[in-house]
Structure 1
């Protein structure tokens, strides 16, 4: 098995490689890469490995940027000290998700999983179409509701009733479709990881909007978009030209 390691911590990469070889002495570590830029270059210029071990937080950004810049066909085992990226990882060739610090047991289970999947698809020629049909039927479900505290009371706000989340001066606020506002003790980044990506979109650093709340979208200066919601927002909602394509695809993905 030919394995590529994408890990920005040299000591961690070395320990990971040694542990992999101790579990599977026939494996070959092709290279150890520390950045998104270097990973993209390697994948473009070399034959695809049998497996990639990929750290999520690299020296120059998140590993998910790799998938935006180059086609990755190899299965990926994601390695990280945090678990908030699990959903995004499994949308990006992920076959397993191993938390640091690594253990022999977790790596053995992950490698066994890769072998079992490979053997399954080799012996079931019609499995891939069936799997695609199944995946197309799966609805990614996010967090159902958020616990808030207001007027000395704890309340649960159902996610489907939330028009948008916004942040101002390090305070994150929920705004519902009926115009009520509730402070919430989480950052916008933390909230975004808990939401169904087909339902909410991060249009800029300050706003996460519900698909149902989008009323109108217009072209703006320098290839930007301005978005109007069915609920009033404290600020004009502008989408930069780097996000206009993904936003329009999100709107059209129903």
Structure 2
């Protein structure tokens, strides 16, 4: 596995590189890059790595300037001291967002997410094509537009605009429409979260992925959580976990 590290502090970059190799022994650090300009030049003329670890603030500007100049088709792990760029990061091929000072377990978790993506595509007749489609969706914020469901011996397509939420219960994933119809689907919430638009859907906790269009109101709940009132009824209260509350409110504000 070829890994590119884009980080303007060379000591931090080297430490990150050692941590990556210790977690993923087959990984090779192909280059350490310090600036937007160097990153654009390298990614424009070289063979693409398998994954990029990228800081937000670089020597000559913000890393998102890279994405405005070239198209990156590989997963990106953002490693930064700033938490306010998470939403923009996940719109820029971000698979994970690690806050400094990072630890070995953070790097391990990032590689697990990448491996989960690979496992999801392995049964596809054209996995490279599907991976590129999803990375395009992450970049544009467009996401998957329809889900194929099976009910009463019939297949039908449900457009994402008709979906109120997805929830997981007893190991099954259920799609719920705005008119309260429910369908069991094969994908997990993790897989669906990679497919749909991050602008339209938000994973509020381990059990629920909700559509902005289904939200009626939000109120404070116990233990710094948020309670979301939806246009439909759900088996459990749709609670935003306290670690996601700030990002969820920011997501609401950015409509």
TM-score (norm 2): 0.54
1:21-170 pair list within 5 angstroms: 21-125=21-125, 128=130, 132-133=144-145, 134-136=195-197, 139=200
- Gaps in structure 1 of 5+ consecutive residues: 146-192, 200-254
| CA radius of gyration, larger in | 1
Would the aligned equivalents of 1:140 and 1:196 in 2 still touch at CA under 8 Å?
no
Cα-Cα RMSD = 3.2
The C-alpha deviation readout for 1:7-34, integer Å capped at 9, x for no partner, is 0000000000001111111101000000
The C-alpha deviation readout for 1:32-85, integer Å capped at 9, x for no partner, is 000000000000001111000000111111101100001101100000011110
User: Residue 184 of structure 1 corresponds to which residue in structure 2?
Assistant: none
Cα distance in 2 for partners of 1:13, 1:119 equals 29
Residue 198 of structure 1: CA displacement? Answer: 6.1
Q: 1:125 to 1:90 in 2, by over 3 A?
A: farther
Q: Where does structure 1 differ by over 6 angstroms across 4 or more consecutive aligned residues?
A: none
Would the aligned equivalents of 2:91 and 2:198 in 1 still touch at CA under 8 Å?
no
Residue 196 of structure 1: CA displacement? Answer: 5.4
Deviates more, 1:131-140 or 1:39-48: 131-140
Cα distance in 2 for partners of 1:94, 1:123 equals 23
Cα distance in 2 for partners of 1:137, 1:92 equals 11
Q: 1:4 to 1:120 in 2, by over 3 A?
A: same
Cα distance in 1 for partners of 2:67, 2:115 equals 23
- Gaps in structure 2 of 5+ consecutive residues: 135-142, 146-194, 203-211, 219-248
Residue 138 of structure 1: CA displacement? Answer: 5.4
User: Residue 11 of structure 1 corresponds to which residue in structure 2?
Assistant: 11
Would the aligned equivalents of 1:7 and 1:54 in 2 still touch at CA under 8 Å?
yes
Cα distance in 1 for partners of 2:58, 2:79 equals 11
Residue 103 of structure 1: CA displacement? Answer: 0.3
Q: Secondary structure at the match of 1:123?
A: coil
Indicate yes or no: 2:206 matched with 1:194: no
Q: 1:44 to 1:135 in 2, by over 3 A?
A: same
The C-alpha deviation readout for 1:194-248, integer Å capped at 9, x for no partner, is 365864xxxxxxxxxxxxxxxxxxxxxxxxxxxxxxxxxxxxxxxxxxxxxxxxx
The C-alpha deviation readout for 1:120-178, integer Å capped at 9, x for no partner, is 11223488479623525951679x89xxxxxxxxxxxxxxxxxxxxxxxxxxxxxxxxx
Would the aligned equivalents of 1:52 and 1:76 in 2 still touch at CA under 8 Å?
yes
Q: 1:29 to 1:137 in 2, by over 3 A?
A: closer
Q: Secondary structure at the match of 1:132?
A: coil
Q: How many corresponding residue pairs?
A: 156
Q: 1:7 to 1:136 in 2, by over 3 A?
A: closer
